[in-house]
Structure 1
Amino acid sequence: MKQNKILFPIFLMVVIPTLLTTFISFFRFSTTLDRKLSDALFHFLPSHHTFSKDIVIIDIDEQSIAKYADHPELGQWPWKRHIYPTLIGYTKLLTPPKFTIIDIMFTERSDYDDALVVANETLGEISHAANFRNGGIVIPRKSIDTISQKFSVPLTTSIPFPKYENASFPIGQIAETAPNVHVVNVISDSDGILRRFSPFVRWNGMYFPTLATQAFALGETYKIETKDLNVYLEKEGTKRIIPIGKDGLVRAYFYTEEELRNIPRYSAAGIIESLEKLNTGEVEDPNTLLVPPKLFENKIVLIGTSAAATHDDVVTPHGLFPGVIAQAVFASNLTEGHLLKELPVTYGFVFTILVLFVGVLVLFINQWHILKNIYPIFAISLFIGLFYFLYRMDYVLSTNSFVFGFPVSYLLGFAYLTYTEGKEKRKFNHILRNLVDPEVVSVALENMESLKQGGEWEITAFFSDVAGFSSISEELSATDLAKLLNEYLSAMTNVLKTNSGTLDKYIGDAIVGIFGAPIQNKEHPKLACKTALEMLKELEGLRKEWNERGDYTPLARAMVFRIGLNCGLAKVGFMGTDSLASYTMMGDTVNLAARLEAAAKDYGVSILVSENIELACRDTFSFRFLDWIRVKGKEAPVKIYSLESFKNEISPVSVKAFEEYEFGFSEYSKRNWETAIEHFKNVSKILGKDDVSSHLLIKRCQTLFQNPPPVDWDGVYTRTSK
């Protein structure tokens, strides 16, 4: 395709979608949409990480509150604080857990704070929850500075971790004796879905670890380094690289919905009931308890709530879940290294632009129509494949540029292609409708590129001409001549089209036709023969009508024509200018057909064909051998035949006459002139009429008898005229 013809498709399919997606990216909702789309793909694609086996949850669930509805300490929320040391202590009856993380706030004073203070001092490996917020009034506490200094981490970085104005630490001595503190704040995206978390948050110029970071640290000392937007945590040889986003959050891997629902959660009510049975001696073997203590051995234990009264639910990519489930996911991500890195938007942008450029090539350069139809499937599959490949490596490819850009690009491209091809189809349709049967036109237009390019293949060339038309035209007025031609050409062209022939052109009264193009058809020689015979009948019918009506002159009413047929390789296709083109044929095959039409006059036959036609159609049609000739412009001799009729319509008399003719020609080839003449004379006697072909050969024998040919004479007659 010329350069100027490809520039506009590039503008449509690359520039416009790129500008559109760039414009969309300026709006904040594009990032949210991007994450929604990636969520959908995460649901669709196979999971490649599993939830940590080291994390379990003690859940103050609906059952825990309902079972003890009449209990003075457990019948209402919040529970009395001396219950929590009981839960923590139960997990340490056998081999203690690695670490206990409390996801419940103790920021208000109560009468049971001492129980938690004792637990802090005696049970150890506990982390209490702190809550940061923006706005509101900070209640001054003497210990706030001491507490914040105690639990902050030494960190100097330019990473924009979430920043808060106010902080709520555990109250009084609970904070003072707490071994560790973590921040439980979570930040949902603008669509309300919780997908990301931060390992640290800021307050008052200091940095504090979140629950996930404490789950990784297990209350032990750990090293923190930052570089660019990466956080490096290291503890006892275990190293985690946290890829932080521009807003200080990291994308969490949310596993599958089934895994989230199957996270080991043990009801607080079950633990309390198990402890009561153990204390009363009802059960002696701890392993037979409803919640055996061994379930917490070497585990990271999260104590949280899922009961409706606690109002601690969040919306995750899998729907509504208790907040402690989301915290458990974040903890699993960090402890196991299941963290997702959101790649820059430019990665998705570059991929999309490459796909769009390939789309231009497929639609406007590629010649395979099936590829134009399957390319969208291929492109989408390629995108999903690349997305999944990166996802397996914990990278998230930006999706919105492809999801927006590719459909817009391909729709614009297809629309333009439909318009341009439709324009071309209309042009070629207009041309072909006058040349070919409408059913053939519809098939030919299915492959426009092939139609426009043409090619070289086997066809049958058809030439017909009215005998003595110059004399006829001299006798008729211009009006009658036009009427006669219209009647004749319309009738003959209709026969041509009906037999899947293509009208090449009219040359005055002559008709030039093609069989086997633009739609290739192996039966083209037989179709051409059938057409020639049907034209003879059609002309006979026209002559009868003209005589009945008394139209035209006697010479016109006695009109006859000659037809020349030849099959073989020829170049076919549209030739001409963009505004004026015709479907035509060229080559030696075509030239020979034209010469045969002219030679038919010499032999007094209506349809003269080449040996190629006779060989291809001898099983269906009856042919009469006439001669070996050498036409003007060709050295190779050609064996020629007269097409007489369908094979089942030939009369025994004709068969006998044709055989006699061949006997005569055999003698002629042997230079037995007198014997040949006798056979040729017999042909007219058998037929009961003068046979022009026989008379032609008789005259030739007589001439050769008087002027013998040279020794190397091959019996081939050379025509000196076209």
Structure 2
Amino acid sequence: MRMGWLLGRNNARMPFLAALLVLIGALALRAADPVELSRLRDFAFDVYERLDPRVYNPATPVRIIDIDEASLAEYGQWPWPRTIVARLVDKLTEKGAATIAFDVVFAEPDRSSMSRMVRDLVAYTDPETVAKLAAAIQDNDQVLADAMAQSSVVLGFGFDPKATSQAPRRYHGTAFAGDDPAQFLPMQQGTVRPIPLLEAAAKGNGSINTDLESAVIRRIPMLYRVAGQDGLFPALSIEALRVAQGASTYLVKSSGASGELSFGERTGIVAIRTGDVEVRTDARGRLTLYDTGHRRERFISARAVMHDEVPAEQLEGRIVFVGTSVIGLRDMRSTPVSDSVPGVEVQAQLAEQMIEQQYLSRPDFADGAEFLYLAAIGVLFVWALPRLTAGQMAVVAAAGIGLGLAVPWLAFSEYRLLFDPIYPPVTLAGIYVTGTALAFMRTEHERAQIRGAFGLYLSPDVVEQLARHPELLQLGGEVREITVMFTDVRGFTRISEQFDAHGLTRFMNRFLTPMTDLILSHRGTIDKYMGDAIMAFWNAPLAVEGHAARGCETALAMQDRLAALNAEWEAEATAEGRRHIPVNIGIGLNTGHASVGNFGSTQRFTYSCLGDDVNLASRLEGQCKTYGVGIIIGETTRAQVPHYAAIELDLLMVKGKTEAQRAFALVGDPAMAKMPAFQALVERQTVFLAQYRAGGFAEALGMIEECEDAAAAVGWRQGYYEMMRVRIDGLLDEAPIGWTGVYVAKDK
């Protein structure tokens, strides 16, 4: 009931209001911008990178020295003795590497160092001897520190909230233009730093951590803060770039800096400059990874370097990152393009981006632009919904949603700008679907009302066809073969005299309802009610196979149902102390071609049928009273139902016709037609009619009693033979001149 009220005629604006509520809710959610929406955007941007990844340029001076399976097989499991690492540093320095950045944290002294092992001998020998041995053996960490001192090495440090060590050493100064960048950078609670001996020999120190917010690495901070520590701490990638240039500072440009529009708002960091390279970041100082995916061309085996198998030109002047691609060492990461890449490759890609100046950026105005776009197009959708047809609205929706998908892709593929391609189009689709769905539901509700209203007058097939095809609601028709039925109550005037107006209405409802049900259940179409009469037909508007048989089956069922009704009415009349008047009906059936369709005027019309064969069905029904039978069918109908039990009544010329028609009484169903008793009746009736039409009236009259007995044998006790007895008696008294055996009906 409530849904019907919401969708009713007085609530035609419901689709508009629902679409407006969806828009307002979507705008409010976009303004709040919860984490879930950010993740949705990230997913879309990941798809963009997979469709159009950054093209790897082998000329970019960045390489990865890979501690791969071959290297581990040669030099043993990781961590290696620092002497081996020192040899690797020496080899890379000899080959001319500009900077060596370790994606490794040397957080503890080398446990394999001989100096440490000698010190452990103090429990077994005198301290003086131990001291002499220790002095004679060089410490592994010192060996690495010495190698680093002769090279340009950047060490790695990590973040750990449980760590208690001091902050890593800084080798750089920091300056800023605009707002203090510290307020925008991520804060870390603790660090894991290299041992002081190695830090003292290095030229730089950078964080090896990547994305701290997601399992997929998308944005990497270039600078960090550490709780309780002054200054800023760089990422490994940008620190390697600083050291390679010989730069000494980081210049951070934030909102309010010269040349940067902020309109008085603290919008965050804009760029970080070191040496000649300016790195464009987001407001929190993060660089968005523009992923190429895993590329083997970046990697050079550490074993190959140690064996001098790598030409100097592959390393000279290059920034090299030392890390591992071995899965067992647990340094694998997920990126937008690849599900599993070595962590060191992420650092290398970031350095490549900074050198190539290829950045993905989400402009400061992106949120506002997306909000305004959504508001503008959303208002257009809401305004257009009640004003446009479904097809027109679909075009508008497709254009708006397509624009929301195409513009972000164009911005990414051509300008490397990141605009949300999901939330605005999904919201617009939601507005369209909500409004359209409610409009559709309202239309269906109205159709249901139409079905309910017209179903009182038309058959369900006609109503359904009109509901699906409103274009049929126009004047016109088609010619097709149909079977037409007319029924009428005999002696209705006398029956109606025993009821008042309300009682007569109830009586007619009790009569017409079951009769209508039978017609409709046999796929008939109710044309109209004419007082106590019913007009119906088959094979229109929808084709009905065997429509003549359907009509005959319905007529027999109606007579059977009337017998049951008469028993009920008789019992009621007896209980009320009044006389019961039996109700009898005549049924005429005829099959033929007719014009079927909507007839009437432009103001009012009805679905009906017209034609000579329709008129003949009406005339046959009228002759039921003349011949004293319940059902008369035409010659064409009989030809289409030869398996039904029917006998020929007469050669009849009805009112308005100039040619005689054979009229048949429908006696029973196909089962009766097979009964020997019925076949005997047909034989006697055939002989009887032959005598009658030949003018042998006396002989025909003598056969009537025999025919009556045959009819009684099959249960057909109607007034036909009594009527024929009276007619033939009259013919005997006054023999007609030019007798042809055709009876001309005197009334309709």
1:400 aligns with 2:423: yes
How big is the shift at 1:400?
Answer: 3.1
1:196 and 2:219 matched = yes
Matches within 5 A, 1:323-362: 323-331=343-351, 340=360, 344=366
State the partner residue of 2:494: 471
> With structure 2 as the length reference, what TM-score do the two structures score?
0.55
Change (3 A) 1:554 1:390: farther
Alpha-carbon distance between aligned partners in 2 of 1:656 and 1:341, rounded to the nearest angstrom: 103
8 Å contact from structure 1 (residues 565, 610) kept in 2:
yes
* Equivalent residue runs for 1:95-494 within 5 Å: 100-103=100-103, 115-120=147-152, 188=211, 194-197=217-220, 211=237, 249=286, 251-254=288-291, 259=294, 270=303, 275=306, 286-287=308-309, 301-304=320-323, 323-331=343-351, 340=360, 344=366, 397-403=420-426, 406=429, 410=433, 414=437, 421=444, 425=448, 428=451, 432=455, 449-450=467-468, 462-474=485-497, 485=508, 488-494=511-517
Q: Are the structure 2 counterparts of residues 470 and 267 from structure 1 closer, same or farther at C-alpha, using a change threshold of 3 Å?
A: same
CA distance in 2, matches of 1:591, 1:361: 51
| Correspondence for 1:510 among 524, 533, 536 | 533
Please tell me whether the aligned partners of residues 564 and 596 of structure 1 are also in contact (alpha carbons under 8 angstroms): yes
Determine which of 14, 17, 21 is the counterpart of 1:11: 17
Aligned CA distance change for structure 1 residues 193 and 498 (closer, same or farther; 3 Å): closer
Counterpart secondary structure, 2:622: helix
- Cα distance in 2 for partners of 1:245, 1:305 equals 29
In the alignment, residue 87 of structure 1 is paired with which amino acid?
Answer: L
Distance, in Å, in 2 between the alignment partners of 1:385 and 1:621 is 74
Give per-residue Cα distances to partners, 1:593-648, cap 9 Å, x unaligned. Answer: 4773355324646445678756765687869696677869xxx9997865635577
* Partner Cα separation in structure 2 for residue 465 and residue 424 of structure 1: 33
- Preserved contact between residue 598 and residue 607 of structure 2 (Cα < 8 Å): yes
**Structure 2 CA distance for aligned equivalents of residues 718 and 349 of structure 1:** 84
Taking a change above 3 Å as real, the CA distance of residues 398 and 529 of structure 1, as seen in their structure-2 partners, is same
Q: Which digits, 9 at most, give the CA deviation of each residue in 1:502-531, with x for residues without a partner?
A: 556654432344545787644444322320
* 1:529 maps to 2:552: yes
Instruction: State the alpha-carbon separation in 2 of the partners of residues 255 and 612 from structure 1.
Output: 83
* Cα distance in 2 for residues equivalent to 1:623 and 1:349: 84
Offset at 1:195? 1.2
Closer/same/farther in 2, CA of residues 549 and 10 from structure 1, 3 Å limit: closer
Paired with 1:641 and 1:97, the residues of 2 have a C-alpha distance of: 115
CA distance in 1, matches of 2:101, 2:381: 53
How far residue 15 of structure 1 moved from its aligned partner, in angstroms, is 2.0
Structure 2 CA distance for aligned equivalents of residues 84 and 718 of structure 1: 124
Measure the CA separation in 2 of the matches of 1:639 and 1:361: 62
Q: Indicate the residue corresponding to 1:35 in structure 2.
A: 39
Contact 2:54 2:292 in 1 (8 A): yes
1:58 paired to 2:58: no
Q: Which amino acid aligns with 2:489?
A: V
Superposed CA offset, 1:511-563 (max 9, x none): 34454578764444432232013223443565678789996999932623233
Equivalent pair of 1:101/1:301 in contact (CA under 8 Å)? yes
Shift of 1:18: 1.9
Q: Which stretches in structure 2 are left out of the alignment for 5+ residues?
A: 1-6, 109-140, 160-164, 248-252, 254-258, 263-269, 708-720
Q: What is the Cα deviation at residue 690 of structure 1?
A: 6.4
Cα distance, 1:509–1:321 mapped onto 2, change above 3 Å = same
Deviations for 1:345-383, whole angstroms, at most 9, x for unmatched residues? Answer: 656985896899599979x9659xxx99xxx99999999
Question: What's the CA shift string for 1:678-711, capped at 9, x where partnerless?
Answer: 4999988877536779979x99xx9x989xxxxx
Aligned residues: percent identity? 18
- The code of the aligned residue for 1:211 comes to S
Matched residue SS, 1:587:
strand
Find out whether 1:21 has 2:40 as its counterpart: no
1:119 aligned counterpart, secondary structure: coil
Amino acid at match of 1:20: G
Deviation at 1:23, TM superposition (A): 0.8
- Does structure 2 conserve the Cα–Cα contact (< 8 Å) formed by 1:684 and 1:690? no
1:563 maps to what in 2? 588
Q: C-alpha distance in 2, partners of 1:330/1:693?
A: 115
Contact 2:489 2:586 in 1 (8 A): yes
CA contact (8 A) 1:631 1:718 kept: no
Q: How many residues align?
A: 619
Cα distance in 2 for residues equivalent to 1:680 and 1:300: 129
**CA–CA distance in structure 2, aligned partners of residues 196 and 310 of structure 1:** 23
Contact 1:499–1:531 at 8 Å: present in 2 too? yes
Q: Taking structure 1 as reference, are residues 527 and 481 closer, same or farther at Cα in structure 2, changes over 3 Å only? A: same
Q: Deviations over 1:109-165 (max 9, x none)?
A: x97766434224xxxxx7788999xxx999999x966xx69xx9xxx999x999669
One-letter code aligned to 1:18:
L
Task: In structure 2, give the amino acid aligned to 1:252.
Answer: L
CA contact (8 A) 2:570 2:580 kept: no
Residue 338 of structure 1 and its aligned partner are, at CA, apart by: 7.3
2:698 and 2:621 mapped to 1: Cα distance? 20
Tell me the secondary structure at the aligned position of residue 560 of structure 1: strand
Aligned twin of 1:596: 617
Say whether 1:587 aligns with 2:587: no
CA contact (8 A) 2:486 2:621 kept: no
8 Å contact kept, 1:183–1:209 = yes
Q: Is the 8 Å Cα contact of residues 195 and 316 (structure 1) preserved in structure 2? A: yes
CA contact (8 A) 1:56 1:265 kept: yes
Letter in 1 for 2:151: A
2:468 maps to a residue whose letter is: S
Q: How much has 1:467 moved relative to structure 2?
A: 2.0
Structure 1: distance between partners of 2:403 and 2:186: 46
Matching of residues 522-671 of structure 1 within 5 Å: 522-540=545-563, 556-557=581-582, 559-564=584-589, 568=594, 570-571=596-597, 585-589=606-610, 593=614, 596-597=617-618, 600-602=621-623, 604=627, 606-607=630-631, 642=664, 644=666, 649=673, 651=679, 654=682
Q: Distance in 2 between matches of 1:517 and 1:205?
A: 90
Equivalences for residues 75-90 of structure 1 within 5 A: 86-90=87-91
CA separation of 1:638/1:542 partners in 2, compared to 1, >3 Å: closer, same or farther? Answer: same
Give the whole-Å Cα distance in 2 for the aligned partners of 1:411 and 1:628: 65
Look up the equivalent residue of 2:91 and give its one-letter code.
Y
Q: Which amino acid aligns with 1:597?
A: S
Question: What's the CA shift for 1:466?
Answer: 0.7
CA contact (8 A) 1:348 1:399 kept: no
Per mean C-alpha deviation after superposition, the further-off stretch among 243-252 and 529-538 is 243-252
Change in Cα spacing, 1:483 to 1:337, as seen in structure 2 (3 Å) is: same
CA gap of 1:67–1:208, structure 2 versus 1, over 3 A, is closer
Residues 182 and 211, structure 1, Cα contact 8 Å, conserved in 2: no
Contact 1:197/1:250 (<8 A) preserved: yes
Specify the code of the residue in structure 2 equivalent to 1:33. Answer: L
Distance (whole Å) between structure 2 residues aligned to residue 16 and residue 70 of structure 1: 63
Offset of residue 489 of structure 1: 3.6
**Any conservation in 1 of the 2:589–2:633 contact (CA below 8 Å)?**
yes
